[in-house]
Amino acid sequence: MTLLPTPAKAVSPPRPRARFHVRKQALAGWGFAGPFVAVFALVFLAPIGYALYLSLFRDRLIGGTSFVGLDNYTQALTDARFWEALTRVGLFLAVQVPIMLGIALLVALAIDSGRLYGKGFFRISIFLPYAVPAVVASLMWGFIYGTRFGLVGNINDTFGVSLPDPLSPSLVLASIGNIVTWEFVGYNMLIFYSALKIVPRSLYEAAAIDGAGEWRVVTSVKLPAIRGSLVIATIFSIIGSFQLFNEPSILQKLAPNAITSDFTPNLYTYSLSFSGQQHNYAATVAIVMGVITAIIAYAVQLRGMRKG
């Protein structure tokens, strides 16, 4: 922060832009960004560097540590358990993310449109699930998904139907998707909503004068204006899907056979690292996963930002 330039007041330059030249920009830029970058380096980059280093070794209970070069990477690239897990979260991503973001966007637009009764109530209520701790979420969803004492069981009893078990192997991914949607609809809604709040109102006015209907205002003014937020919410949802961990890990206690220890890539690295003490290989899988995720996120960003 002390690096910040303080231009002299008295001088009134002929070309204002020249006053704020490249070097000062750099100083100011790094001055403001510096604190974030420094802490980020400590809590993200250093462990990743450490993980990169670890990924070149193999540590065994019997025989100790040895340098293995890129062996761990060759192993990861041909690891069927890893690829199966990756395919699973890929499917999850393709289905759950559009649903979740779609609902979030609709709710955000509805609240922003001013056409809701009690919109403040809607805003906080829909956001609330994000505030629920994982242990509670597990108790709640354990109850709802329960086919004996739970809500599903009660519906079955009351209406004489037999709903399929949400935790059976064929449905468990969808059930996880439901929980994730529940948790993050409000979160994404708030992102969209706060982006909508800074859309210049004059744009609406102009559109209204042109005779544009409400829907037209949405598609031609509001959505383009919040493109940045849409893209970033998508990117973070993609990362979130690829890193799916909390929800399957919670439900694993209720459905241990349907949710295997390699159900998602992140569960797999967890199991490798914590149950198996295979820190080196876990680090390798994590890095491969990170590279794949980053490539996809980058592609989405390019595509999302280019249009329009």
Partner 1 sequence: MSAHVSSIPSNSTDPTEPTGSPGTAHAAGAPVPPRRRRPHTPLNPRPSVPLTLLVGLVLVYTLLPLAWLVINATKDQKGLLDSFGLWFGKDFNLWDNISRTLTYDDGVFVRWLLNTLLYVAVGAGGATVLAVLGGYALATYEFPGRRAVFAVVIGAVAVPGTALAVPTFLMFSGMGLTNTPWAVIIPSLISPFGLYLMWVFAAEAVPAELLEAARIDGSGELRTFFRIALPLLMPGTVTVLLFSMVATWNNYFLPLIMIKDPDWYPLTLGLNAWNAQAQTAGGEAVFDLIITGSLLTIVPIVAIFLLLQRYWQSGLAAGSVKE
Partner 2 sequence: MRTNSTRRLLGAVAMACVMALGATACGSSDPADGGGGPEDVKSALDKGGKVTVWAWEPTLKKVAADFEKKYPKVDIELVNAGTGDKQYTALQNAIAAGSGAPDVAQIEYYALGQFAIGKSVEDLAGYGATAYDKTFTSGPWNAVKYDKSIYALPMDSGPMALFYNKKVFDKHGAKVPTTWDEYVEAARTLHKADPKIFITNDTGDAGATTSLIWQAGGRPYKTDGTDVSIDFGDAGTKTYTNTWQKLLDEDLLAPVTSWSDEWYKGLADGSIATLSIGAWMPANFTSGVASASGDWRVAPLPQWTKGDTAGAENGGSSLAVPKAAENKELAYAFIEYATTGAGASARVAQGSFPATKADLGSKTFLETAFPYFGGQQANKIFADSANNVGAGWSYLPYQVYANSVFNDTVGKAYISSTPLSKGLEDWQRASIKYGTDQGFSVNK
| Contact set for partner 1, span 125-164 (CB under 8 A) | 125-137, 139-141, 143-144, 149-151, 154
Nearest residue (CB) to partner 1, 28 versus 171: 28
Cα–Cα distances (Å) from 193 to 101, 119, 222, 307, in that order, read 12, 12, 11, 22
Residue 83 sits in the site that holds partner 1 (CB under 8 A): no
Total residues in contact with partner 1, by rule CB under 8 A: 134
CB of residue 166 to partner 2, shortest distance in Å: 12
Buried b / exposed e along 140-159 (16+ C-beta atoms within 10 A): ebbebbbbeebbbbeeeeee
The tokens for 64 are: 């100790």
State the DSSP H helix or E strand holding residue 196, giving kind and residue range, or none if neither.
Answer: helix 172-196
- The Cβ-side half-sphere exposure at 64, using a 13 Å CA radius, reads 1
Show the binding pattern over residues 177-216: x = contacts partner 1 (CB under 8 A), - = does not.
-----x--xxx--xx-xxx-xxxxxx-xx-xx---xxx--
* Residue 182 interacts with, from partner 1, partner 2, none (CB under 5-8 Å by kind): partner 1
CB of residue 177 to partner 2, shortest distance in Å: 19
Q: Fill in the amino acid letter for 223.
A: L
CB of residue 91 to partner 1, shortest distance in Å: 18
State the DSSP H helix or E strand holding residue 59, giving kind and residue range, or none if neither.
Answer: strand 57-60
* Residue 230 interacts with, from partner 1, partner 2, none (CB under 5-8 Å by kind): none
CB of residue 251 to partner 2, shortest distance in Å: 10
Q: Which stretch binds partner 1 (CB under 8 A): 7-15, 65-73, 94-102, 169-177?
A: 7-15
- Among 77, 94, 95, 106, contact with partner 1 (rule: CB under 8 A): 106
Nearest residue (CB) to partner 2, 12 versus 275: 275
Ramachandran sector of residue 66 (left: φ over 0; alpha: ψ -120 to 50; beta: rest): beta
CA-CA distance, 293 to 239, in Å (whole number)?
6
Q: Fill in the amino acid letter for 268.
A: Y
CB of residue 120 to partner 1, shortest distance in Å: 4
Nearest residue (CB) to partner 1, 173 versus 278: 278
Distance spanning both ends of the chain, measured CA to CA = 37
Helices (H) and strands (E) in the chain — how many of each?
16, 2
Cα–Cα distances (Å) from 121 to 104, 192, 224, in that order, read 16, 17, 27
Nearest residue (CB) to partner 2, 121 versus 274: 274
CB of residue 271 to partner 2, shortest distance in Å: 6
Residues that bind partner 2 (CB under 8 A): 50, 53-54, 57, 59-65, 139, 142-143, 146, 148-150, 165, 168-169, 253-258, 260-262, 271, 274-279
Cα–Cα distances (Å) from 254 to 136, 140, 166, 178, in that order, read 14, 12, 11, 16
Say if residues 272 and 36 touch (Cβ distance below 8 Å). no
CA-CA distance, 44 to 39, in Å (whole number)?
8
* Residue 60 interacts with, from partner 2, partner 1, none (CB under 5-8 Å by kind): partner 2
Nearest residue (CB) to partner 1, 43 versus 80: 43
Q: Which stretch binds partner 1 (CB under 8 A): 31-39, 60-68, 71-79, 92-100?
A: 31-39
